[in-house]
Structure 1
């Protein structure tokens, strides 16, 4: 995610608690989504849950990007 900001991400994960929290939550959601998509049991119930998680993950990604742009300026 955002390879052009790799160094800044590394820095912010240690210096900005809010950024670290967002980043960790984004990664947790990514793993949850992968786990749910890999489990083919209860496909219909999972599809709705996966959609909600993906929307939350996307919102976090947008917020992370705003923070990165702010600090890069």
Structure 2
């Protein structure tokens, strides 16, 4: 997956240097970011940080429920 993301970034760099693909360390999900190239600030990210945080908490909750059933 990392190689694919790196290949996409390399391809896009000459034509759209403000778009970056990456992989979220915690969830393994692919992230797409629009970055201000002058300040290197993330303008927009999909999925958003909030969505990633909610998904992480839901995974924890699911783990608790499975442990209680066992």
Q: TM-score category by the smaller chain?
A: 0.3 to 0.5
Quick check: which one's helix share is greater? 1
- TM-score (norm. length: structure 2): 0.40
| Greater share of strand | 2
| Higher-Rg member (1/2) | 2
